[in-house]
Amino acid sequence: MFIDTHCHLDFEQFDNDREEVIQRAKELGIDYIINIGSSLAGSEKSIELAKKYDFIFATVGIHPHEADNFNEETKEKLYVLAKNPKVVAIGEIGLDYFKSYSSKESQERLFLCLIDLAKQLNLPLVIHCRDAQRDILKILKQEKINKAVVHCFSGDEDFLDSCLKEGFFISFTCNVTYKNAQHLREMIRIVPLNRLMLETDAPFLPPQQFRGKRNEPAYVRFLAKFIAEIKGVEIEALGRITTENAKEFFNLK
């Protein structure tokens, strides 16, 4: 049993074979898929996908790259979408100072607005963080957030320690299999199993053996095998524990 806790099946990379990709994941033991909203249109598509498949759930959110374009109308539409029963989290949201497609001020305004939405609806947060660890932690502490997952973890050990102390979950993607990802593998060794989740971030970041190709939810099995070896546990045990973590976090029935 495995859960892909973060993918983007609504993206155009899956337009030609989306149903086949979903069926392949199901056949290979991916019992749940969390499809992540990263724009207003993407959040709408994510919910439609979740309505179509009983084992797919949705999140709604606006990626920090889109923060400069966020307005009151978008905010109101997100609030309506987030009340759908198949929505299990708010995300992905956060700060991205690596590419800085939107200003820091706009990103923080958007982040705070969507944190407020999560609080109102009692939903957990899916956090995107690139080169913004200090500000992410400051805001999450300030807002007294205790239910969040830092997706596609890329921070240092100090950031990891702080996240764990705050009670956050940590999620890794298939980029941990890359030859130059020794730092991430060290972070995996530190994270307790009961705070770990698995994700593909498909269509991005495929496992090493598929570099240059599209990632997909079925490949979470390659990630699980790789992490199980690092942690020194059987893949079945890793699958069971990470699935229990994700089911509790997203309140999956």
Instruction: State the CATH number of the domain containing residue 41.
Output: 3.20.20.140
Print the domain residue range for 203: 2-250
**134-157 tens-digit pLDDT:** 999 999 999 999 999 999 999 999
- The structure tokens listed for 14 are 């899956």
| pTM, to two decimals | 0.97
Flag whether pLDDT at 211 surpasses 90.
Answer: yes
Flag whether pLDDT at 126 surpasses 80.
Answer: yes
Q: How many domains does the chain have?
A: 1
User: Do residues 5 and 149 make contact, with C-beta atoms less than 8 angstroms apart?
Assistant: yes
The dihedrals phi and psi of 98, each to the nearest 5 degrees, come to -75, -50
Flag whether pLDDT at 253 surpasses 90.
Answer: no
Placement of tokens 């989290």 in the chain: 89
Placement of tokens 């698995």 in the chain: 198
If we measure between CA atoms, which residue out of 106, 23, 124 comes closest to residue 64? 106
Q: What's the pLDDT band for 100 if we cut at 50, 70, 90? A: confident
